[in-house]
Amino acid sequence: MGAVRGGSEGCAPHGTNSFTLGCRVDYAGESLRYEVTIEVRPDIRIIAEKLYGYGVAAASGARSYGPIFETRRAGAPGTGIEAEIHNGKRGSNPWSRFRDSRLLLTQVPLVVPGANRAERSVLRAVAAVRNALRGVFHFDPIPHLMRDFVPGRDVELRRTGENLSAALRNLQSTDPDAFRRIGELVRLIADDGVQGISFVSSELGDVMLALQESRGAATERSERTPAREMSDGLLRFIGIATALLSPQNGLDIDSAMSSSIDDEEPRGAVLVVLEELENGLHPSQAHRVLELIRESSRSTGTSVLITSHSPALLDAAEGHLNENIIVCYRHPGSGYSKLERIIDLPGYAISLAEGSLGAAVTSGKLSSGAHEEPDYAEFQRLLGLG
Protein backbone atom coordinates (compact mmCIF):
# COMPACT_ATOMS: atom_id res chain seq x y z
CA MET A 1 0.00 0.00 0.00
CA GLY A 2 1.35 3.42 -0.86
CA ALA A 3 1.81 6.34 1.47
CA VAL A 4 -1.33 8.04 2.78
CA ARG A 5 -1.76 11.65 1.69
CA GLY A 6 -1.00 13.86 4.66
CA GLY A 7 0.70 11.05 6.54
CA SER A 8 -0.81 9.43 9.62
CA GLU A 9 -2.02 12.77 11.00
CA GLY A 10 -3.97 13.33 7.79
CA CYS A 11 -6.14 10.30 8.59
CA ALA A 12 -7.77 11.98 11.60
CA PRO A 13 -10.65 14.40 10.90
CA HIS A 14 -9.71 18.06 11.38
CA GLY A 15 -9.75 19.04 15.03
CA THR A 16 -9.33 15.47 16.30
CA ASN A 17 -6.39 13.29 17.30
CA SER A 18 -7.72 9.88 16.30
CA PHE A 19 -9.65 7.98 13.65
CA THR A 20 -11.60 4.72 13.60
CA LEU A 21 -11.73 2.05 10.90
CA GLY A 22 -13.81 -1.09 10.81
CA CYS A 23 -14.96 -3.92 8.59
CA ARG A 24 -17.21 -6.94 8.44
CA VAL A 25 -15.73 -10.27 7.42
CA ASP A 26 -18.03 -13.11 6.38
CA TYR A 27 -16.55 -16.49 7.26
CA ALA A 28 -18.14 -19.94 7.39
CA GLY A 29 -21.64 -18.47 7.18
CA GLU A 30 -21.04 -16.02 10.03
CA SER A 31 -20.17 -12.34 10.24
CA LEU A 32 -17.21 -11.04 12.20
CA ARG A 33 -17.12 -7.34 13.04
CA TYR A 34 -13.76 -5.70 13.61
CA GLU A 35 -12.97 -2.13 14.64
CA VAL A 36 -9.81 -0.27 15.59
CA THR A 37 -9.23 3.31 16.78
CA ILE A 38 -5.79 4.84 16.27
CA GLU A 39 -4.44 7.94 17.97
CA VAL A 40 -2.07 10.01 15.83
CA ARG A 41 -0.91 12.65 18.31
CA PRO A 42 1.41 12.91 20.19
CA ASP A 43 2.42 9.43 18.96
CA ILE A 44 0.76 6.79 16.82
CA ARG A 45 -0.81 4.10 18.99
CA ILE A 46 -3.84 1.83 19.32
CA ILE A 47 -6.36 3.25 21.82
CA ALA A 48 -9.25 0.85 21.14
CA GLU A 49 -9.68 -2.41 19.26
CA LYS A 50 -12.39 -5.05 19.24
CA LEU A 51 -13.53 -8.12 17.35
CA TYR A 52 -17.07 -9.44 17.73
CA GLY A 53 -18.33 -12.81 16.54
CA TYR A 54 -19.50 -16.21 17.73
CA GLY A 55 -17.39 -17.69 20.51
CA VAL A 56 -17.55 -21.32 21.60
CA ALA A 57 -18.01 -22.58 25.17
CA ALA A 58 -15.04 -24.66 26.27
CA ALA A 59 -17.11 -27.40 27.93
CA SER A 60 -20.39 -27.65 26.03
CA GLY A 61 -19.40 -26.28 22.65
CA ALA A 62 -22.39 -23.92 22.71
CA ARG A 63 -21.97 -20.83 20.56
CA SER A 64 -22.85 -17.28 21.58
CA TYR A 65 -22.33 -13.89 19.95
CA GLY A 66 -20.10 -11.44 21.76
CA PRO A 67 -16.56 -10.09 22.00
CA ILE A 68 -13.82 -12.36 20.71
CA PHE A 69 -11.55 -9.72 22.20
CA GLU A 70 -12.11 -6.13 23.28
CA THR A 71 -9.81 -3.53 24.82
CA ARG A 72 -10.31 -1.38 27.87
CA ARG A 73 -9.96 2.38 27.67
CA ALA A 74 -6.35 3.17 26.85
CA GLY A 75 -4.17 4.64 29.54
CA ALA A 76 -1.26 7.04 29.20
CA PRO A 77 1.03 6.67 26.19
CA GLY A 78 3.69 4.02 26.68
CA THR A 79 1.67 1.96 29.16
CA GLY A 80 0.29 -0.50 26.65
CA ILE A 81 -3.34 -1.53 26.37
CA GLU A 82 -5.44 -4.20 28.13
CA ALA A 83 -7.93 -6.48 26.43
CA GLU A 84 -10.31 -9.24 27.50
CA ILE A 85 -10.22 -12.40 25.39
CA HIS A 86 -13.03 -14.94 25.11
CA ASN A 87 -12.14 -18.14 27.00
CA GLY A 88 -15.48 -19.98 26.86
CA LYS A 89 -15.67 -20.48 30.62
CA ARG A 90 -18.06 -19.29 33.31
CA GLY A 91 -17.40 -15.89 34.79
CA SER A 92 -15.51 -12.99 33.36
CA ASN A 93 -13.04 -13.35 30.54
CA PRO A 94 -9.39 -12.88 31.51
CA TRP A 95 -7.55 -9.64 30.76
CA SER A 96 -4.13 -9.45 29.17
CA ARG A 97 -1.82 -6.53 28.49
CA PHE A 98 -0.55 -5.87 24.98
CA ARG A 99 1.67 -3.41 23.20
CA ASP A 100 -0.29 -0.46 21.84
CA SER A 101 2.04 -0.04 18.87
CA ARG A 102 0.71 -3.09 17.00
CA LEU A 103 -2.72 -4.43 16.16
CA LEU A 104 -4.05 -6.96 18.63
CA LEU A 105 -4.93 -9.12 15.62
CA THR A 106 -1.24 -9.96 15.43
CA GLN A 107 -0.69 -10.27 19.19
CA VAL A 108 -3.63 -12.36 20.39
CA PRO A 109 -2.30 -15.60 18.81
CA LEU A 110 0.84 -15.19 20.92
CA VAL A 111 -1.09 -15.52 24.20
CA VAL A 112 -3.87 -17.94 23.17
CA PRO A 113 -2.39 -21.45 22.84
CA GLY A 114 -5.44 -23.07 21.20
CA ALA A 115 -5.63 -25.79 23.86
CA ASN A 116 -9.43 -26.20 23.68
CA ARG A 117 -12.28 -25.49 21.30
CA ALA A 118 -12.99 -22.07 22.83
CA GLU A 119 -9.41 -20.93 22.26
CA ARG A 120 -9.40 -22.42 18.77
CA SER A 121 -12.56 -20.45 17.93
CA VAL A 122 -10.71 -17.28 18.97
CA LEU A 123 -7.74 -18.14 16.78
CA ARG A 124 -9.94 -18.93 13.78
CA ALA A 125 -11.85 -15.64 14.11
CA VAL A 126 -8.63 -13.64 14.44
CA ALA A 127 -7.08 -15.47 11.48
CA ALA A 128 -10.17 -14.91 9.30
CA VAL A 129 -10.06 -11.14 9.79
CA ARG A 130 -6.30 -10.94 9.56
CA ASN A 131 -6.17 -12.95 6.34
CA ALA A 132 -8.98 -10.89 4.82
CA LEU A 133 -7.06 -7.69 5.52
CA ARG A 134 -3.80 -9.12 4.23
CA GLY A 135 -5.60 -10.26 1.08
CA VAL A 136 -6.30 -6.67 0.00
CA PHE A 137 -4.27 -6.05 -3.17
CA HIS A 138 -4.20 -2.33 -3.89
CA PHE A 139 -3.10 -2.25 -7.51
CA ASP A 140 -1.76 1.12 -8.63
CA PRO A 141 -0.13 0.48 -12.02
CA ILE A 142 2.61 2.95 -12.97
CA PRO A 143 3.20 2.66 -16.74
CA HIS A 144 6.71 4.07 -16.90
CA LEU A 145 7.87 1.34 -14.49
CA MET A 146 6.52 -1.36 -16.83
CA ARG A 147 8.71 -0.45 -19.78
CA ASP A 148 12.01 -2.04 -18.70
CA PHE A 149 13.35 -5.58 -18.73
CA VAL A 150 12.61 -7.43 -15.46
CA PRO A 151 14.01 -10.71 -14.09
CA GLY A 152 12.07 -13.64 -15.51
CA ARG A 153 11.69 -15.21 -12.04
CA ASP A 154 9.94 -12.14 -10.61
CA VAL A 155 6.50 -13.59 -11.36
CA GLU A 156 4.24 -12.37 -8.53
CA LEU A 157 2.65 -9.16 -9.81
CA ARG A 158 3.60 -6.24 -7.57
CA ARG A 159 1.31 -3.37 -6.66
CA THR A 160 2.89 -0.91 -9.08
CA GLY A 161 2.88 -3.41 -11.95
CA GLU A 162 6.62 -2.89 -12.48
CA ASN A 163 7.17 -6.63 -13.06
CA LEU A 164 4.17 -7.00 -15.39
CA SER A 165 6.24 -8.61 -18.16
CA ALA A 166 7.43 -11.50 -15.96
CA ALA A 167 4.03 -11.95 -14.31
CA LEU A 168 2.24 -12.10 -17.65
CA ARG A 169 4.73 -14.57 -19.14
CA ASN A 170 4.26 -16.76 -16.07
CA LEU A 171 0.49 -16.58 -16.58
CA GLN A 172 1.01 -17.79 -20.14
CA SER A 173 2.26 -21.14 -18.79
CA THR A 174 0.21 -21.45 -15.58
CA ASP A 175 -3.17 -20.34 -16.97
CA PRO A 176 -3.21 -20.32 -20.78
CA ASP A 177 -6.93 -19.52 -20.92
CA ALA A 178 -6.48 -16.35 -18.86
CA PHE A 179 -3.48 -15.37 -20.99
CA ARG A 180 -5.49 -15.84 -24.21
CA ARG A 181 -8.32 -13.77 -22.73
CA ILE A 182 -5.94 -10.89 -22.04
CA GLY A 183 -4.70 -11.11 -25.63
CA GLU A 184 -8.28 -10.91 -26.91
CA LEU A 185 -8.99 -7.85 -24.79
CA VAL A 186 -5.83 -6.13 -26.01
CA ARG A 187 -6.88 -6.72 -29.62
CA LEU A 188 -10.32 -5.25 -28.94
CA ILE A 189 -8.98 -2.18 -27.16
CA ALA A 190 -5.75 -1.46 -29.02
CA ASP A 191 -6.14 -2.23 -32.73
CA ASP A 192 -7.34 -4.91 -35.12
CA GLY A 193 -3.74 -5.22 -36.25
CA VAL A 194 -2.65 -6.70 -32.92
CA GLN A 195 -2.06 -10.42 -33.44
CA GLY A 196 -1.18 -11.28 -29.87
CA ILE A 197 1.13 -10.80 -26.90
CA SER A 198 4.74 -11.91 -27.09
CA PHE A 199 7.92 -11.40 -25.08
CA VAL A 200 11.50 -10.31 -25.64
CA SER A 201 14.17 -12.06 -23.58
CA SER A 202 17.72 -11.02 -22.78
CA GLU A 203 20.81 -13.19 -22.38
CA LEU A 204 20.55 -12.70 -18.61
CA GLY A 205 17.06 -14.17 -18.42
CA ASP A 206 15.24 -10.85 -18.23
CA VAL A 207 11.96 -10.39 -20.05
CA MET A 208 9.96 -7.57 -21.64
CA LEU A 209 6.34 -7.60 -22.79
CA ALA A 210 5.70 -6.94 -26.49
CA LEU A 211 2.81 -6.87 -28.94
CA GLN A 212 2.92 -8.78 -32.20
CA GLU A 213 1.30 -6.51 -34.81
CA SER A 214 0.62 -6.64 -38.52
CA ARG A 215 0.98 -3.80 -40.97
CA GLY A 216 -1.59 -3.77 -43.74
CA ALA A 217 -2.93 -7.21 -44.58
CA ALA A 218 -2.21 -9.80 -41.89
CA THR A 219 -0.14 -11.84 -44.34
CA GLU A 220 2.18 -9.01 -45.39
CA ARG A 221 4.44 -8.15 -42.49
CA SER A 222 4.50 -8.74 -38.75
CA GLU A 223 6.25 -6.36 -36.36
CA ARG A 224 6.96 -6.48 -32.67
CA THR A 225 6.19 -3.47 -30.44
CA PRO A 226 7.99 -3.71 -27.07
CA ALA A 227 6.59 -2.35 -23.83
CA ARG A 228 8.89 0.68 -23.94
CA GLU A 229 6.94 1.88 -27.01
CA MET A 230 3.40 1.18 -25.75
CA SER A 231 1.03 3.87 -24.53
CA ASP A 232 0.42 4.48 -20.84
CA GLY A 233 -3.24 3.56 -21.19
CA LEU A 234 -2.56 0.22 -22.86
CA LEU A 235 0.10 -0.80 -20.33
CA ARG A 236 -2.20 0.17 -17.50
CA PHE A 237 -5.05 -1.88 -18.96
CA ILE A 238 -2.84 -4.95 -19.49
CA GLY A 239 -1.69 -4.64 -15.87
CA ILE A 240 -5.28 -4.42 -14.60
CA ALA A 241 -6.36 -7.40 -16.72
CA THR A 242 -3.42 -9.44 -15.41
CA ALA A 243 -4.24 -8.56 -11.80
CA LEU A 244 -7.90 -9.51 -12.24
CA LEU A 245 -7.35 -12.76 -14.13
CA SER A 246 -4.35 -14.05 -12.21
CA PRO A 247 -4.93 -16.74 -9.60
CA GLN A 248 -4.33 -15.83 -5.98
CA ASN A 249 -0.73 -17.06 -6.09
CA GLY A 250 -0.02 -14.79 -9.07
CA LEU A 251 -0.18 -11.61 -6.97
CA ASP A 252 2.36 -10.23 -4.52
CA ILE A 253 0.24 -10.81 -1.42
CA ASP A 254 1.90 -11.63 1.88
CA SER A 255 0.45 -14.84 3.28
CA ALA A 256 3.09 -15.28 5.97
CA MET A 257 0.64 -14.66 8.79
CA SER A 258 -1.38 -17.81 8.00
CA SER A 259 -0.79 -20.30 10.78
CA SER A 260 -2.18 -23.80 10.82
CA ILE A 261 -4.68 -24.19 13.65
CA ASP A 262 -6.50 -27.21 12.29
CA ASP A 263 -8.33 -28.27 9.17
CA GLU A 264 -10.74 -25.36 9.68
CA GLU A 265 -8.07 -22.70 9.25
CA PRO A 266 -9.68 -19.88 7.23
CA ARG A 267 -8.22 -19.25 3.81
CA GLY A 268 -7.99 -15.59 2.86
CA ALA A 269 -9.71 -14.41 -0.31
CA VAL A 270 -8.34 -11.64 -2.52
CA LEU A 271 -9.78 -8.15 -2.81
CA VAL A 272 -8.28 -6.18 -5.71
CA VAL A 273 -8.56 -2.40 -5.24
CA LEU A 274 -8.29 -0.23 -8.37
CA GLU A 275 -8.34 3.56 -8.19
CA GLU A 276 -9.49 5.68 -11.14
CA LEU A 277 -10.16 2.63 -13.29
CA GLU A 278 -10.98 4.78 -16.32
CA ASN A 279 -7.55 6.44 -16.58
CA GLY A 280 -6.09 5.97 -20.04
CA LEU A 281 -9.19 4.27 -21.45
CA HIS A 282 -11.67 5.62 -23.96
CA PRO A 283 -15.20 5.92 -22.51
CA SER A 284 -16.44 3.50 -25.17
CA GLN A 285 -14.45 0.73 -23.45
CA ALA A 286 -16.35 1.04 -20.16
CA HIS A 287 -18.57 -1.98 -20.78
CA ARG A 288 -15.54 -4.17 -21.60
CA VAL A 289 -13.83 -3.16 -18.36
CA LEU A 290 -16.92 -3.97 -16.29
CA GLU A 291 -17.32 -7.30 -18.06
CA LEU A 292 -13.68 -8.07 -17.22
CA ILE A 293 -14.45 -7.42 -13.55
CA ARG A 294 -17.50 -9.69 -13.66
CA GLU A 295 -15.44 -12.37 -15.38
CA SER A 296 -12.75 -12.13 -12.73
CA SER A 297 -15.27 -12.58 -9.93
CA ARG A 298 -16.84 -15.61 -11.61
CA SER A 299 -13.66 -17.42 -12.65
CA THR A 300 -11.23 -16.70 -9.81
CA GLY A 301 -13.51 -15.73 -6.92
CA THR A 302 -11.71 -12.39 -6.68
CA SER A 303 -13.59 -9.46 -5.17
CA VAL A 304 -12.98 -6.08 -6.79
CA LEU A 305 -13.31 -2.57 -5.39
CA ILE A 306 -12.92 0.30 -7.85
CA THR A 307 -13.09 4.07 -7.57
CA SER A 308 -14.09 6.19 -10.54
CA HIS A 309 -15.18 9.63 -11.69
CA SER A 310 -16.33 8.27 -15.04
CA PRO A 311 -19.97 8.83 -16.08
CA ALA A 312 -19.40 6.21 -18.80
CA LEU A 313 -18.68 3.52 -16.21
CA LEU A 314 -21.86 4.37 -14.31
CA ASP A 315 -23.90 4.27 -17.50
CA ALA A 316 -22.36 0.90 -18.40
CA ALA A 317 -23.40 -0.57 -15.06
CA GLU A 318 -26.70 -2.38 -15.06
CA GLY A 319 -28.82 -4.88 -13.16
CA HIS A 320 -27.50 -6.08 -9.81
CA LEU A 321 -24.26 -4.13 -10.30
CA ASN A 322 -26.11 -0.91 -9.40
CA GLU A 323 -26.73 -2.29 -5.92
CA ASN A 324 -22.97 -2.28 -5.34
CA ILE A 325 -22.32 1.31 -6.44
CA ILE A 326 -21.44 3.65 -3.57
CA VAL A 327 -21.54 7.42 -4.09
CA CYS A 328 -19.25 9.64 -2.01
CA TYR A 329 -20.39 13.22 -1.42
CA ARG A 330 -19.96 15.97 1.14
CA HIS A 331 -22.98 16.16 3.41
CA PRO A 332 -24.26 19.75 3.51
CA GLY A 333 -25.26 19.52 7.18
CA SER A 334 -22.18 17.99 8.81
CA GLY A 335 -19.58 19.02 6.22
CA TYR A 336 -18.15 15.48 6.29
CA SER A 337 -17.90 13.10 3.36
CA LYS A 338 -20.65 10.53 3.30
CA LEU A 339 -20.95 7.18 1.55
CA GLU A 340 -24.31 5.88 0.37
CA ARG A 341 -25.52 3.22 -2.00
CA ILE A 342 -26.66 4.85 -5.21
CA ILE A 343 -29.99 3.02 -5.10
CA ASP A 344 -30.74 4.60 -1.69
CA LEU A 345 -30.18 8.18 -2.86
CA PRO A 346 -33.11 10.53 -3.55
CA GLY A 347 -33.69 10.82 -7.25
CA TYR A 348 -32.19 7.43 -8.14
CA ALA A 349 -35.43 6.04 -9.57
CA ILE A 350 -36.06 9.15 -11.69
CA SER A 351 -32.46 9.19 -12.98
CA LEU A 352 -32.70 5.51 -13.87
CA ALA A 353 -35.93 6.15 -15.77
CA GLU A 354 -34.26 9.02 -17.63
CA GLY A 355 -31.52 6.63 -18.70
CA SER A 356 -28.22 8.14 -17.48
CA LEU A 357 -26.91 7.59 -13.97
CA GLY A 358 -23.55 9.04 -15.03
CA ALA A 359 -25.09 12.36 -16.07
CA ALA A 360 -27.15 12.50 -12.88
CA VAL A 361 -24.13 11.98 -10.61
CA THR A 362 -21.97 14.40 -12.64
CA SER A 363 -24.60 17.13 -12.35
CA GLY A 364 -24.99 16.55 -8.60
CA LYS A 365 -28.56 15.31 -8.78
CA LEU A 366 -27.72 12.14 -6.86
CA SER A 367 -25.08 13.42 -4.46
CA SER A 368 -26.37 16.59 -2.88
CA GLY A 369 -27.97 14.88 0.09
CA ALA A 370 -30.49 17.70 0.06
CA HIS A 371 -33.44 15.40 0.75
CA GLU A 372 -33.58 13.05 3.66
CA GLU A 373 -36.36 10.85 2.30
CA PRO A 374 -36.56 9.50 -1.27
CA ASP A 375 -39.52 10.72 -3.28
CA TYR A 376 -40.89 8.08 -5.64
CA ALA A 377 -43.94 10.07 -6.73
CA GLU A 378 -42.54 10.88 -10.18
CA PHE A 379 -41.39 7.31 -10.74
CA GLN A 380 -44.81 5.98 -9.73
CA ARG A 381 -46.41 8.45 -12.14
CA LEU A 382 -44.23 7.11 -14.96
CA LEU A 383 -45.44 3.60 -14.16
CA GLY A 384 -49.05 4.76 -14.10
CA LEU A 385 -49.35 4.17 -10.35
CA GLY A 386 -49.80 7.79 -9.29
| Edge-to-edge strand list for the sheet holding 303-306 | 136-139, 271-274, 303-306
Which residues does 73 contact at the CB level (< 8 Å), separation at least 6? 47, 48
pLDDT band at 386 (very low <50, low <70, confident <90, very high): low
Cα gap 287→125, rounded to integer Å: 38
pTM: 0.80
Provide the CA 168 distance to its chain's centre, in angstroms: 21
- Among 49-58, 86-95, 150-159, 319-328, where is mean pLDDT lowest? 319-328
Cα gap 64→160, rounded to integer Å: 43
User: Amino acid identity, residue 79?
Assistant: T
What pLDDT is attached to residue 299? 76
| Edge-to-edge strand list for the sheet holding 30-39 | 18-27, 30-39, 45-56, 63-71, 81-85, 95-98
Tens digit of pLDDT for each residue in 61-72?
Answer: 999 999 999 999
- Average of per-residue pLDDT values in the chain: 84
Mean pLDDT value of segment 145-168:
95
pLDDT band at 372 (very low <50, low <70, confident <90, very high): very low
Which residues does 284 contact at the CB level (< 8 Å), separation at least 6? 312
Mean pLDDT value of segment 18-36:
93
Question: Does 198 score more than 90 pLDDT?
Answer: yes
CA angle 170, 163, 289 (to 5 degrees): 80
Q: What is the full DSSP assignment across 99-147?
A: -TTS-HHHHHHHH----SHHHHHHHHHHHHHHHHHHTEEEE---GGGGS
% of the chain residues with pLDDT over 90: 45
Tens digit of pLDDT for each residue in 322-341?
Answer: 788 888 888 777 777 888 88
What pLDDT is attached to residue 370? 43
Q: Which domains does the chain have, with CATH numbers?
A: 8-134 (no CATH), 141-312 (3.40.50), 317-386 (no CATH)
Tens digit of pLDDT for each residue in 344-359?
Answer: 887 777 777 776 777 7
Most distant pair of Cα atoms in the chain: their distance: 83
CB 134 within 8 A of CB 253: yes
Tens digit of pLDDT for each residue in 96-151?
Answer: 999 999 999 999 999 999 999 999 999 999 999 999 998 899 999 999 999 999 99
Tens digit of pLDDT for each residue in 205-219?
Answer: 999 999 988 866 555
Nearest residue to 268 via CA among 136, 159, 122, 158 = 136
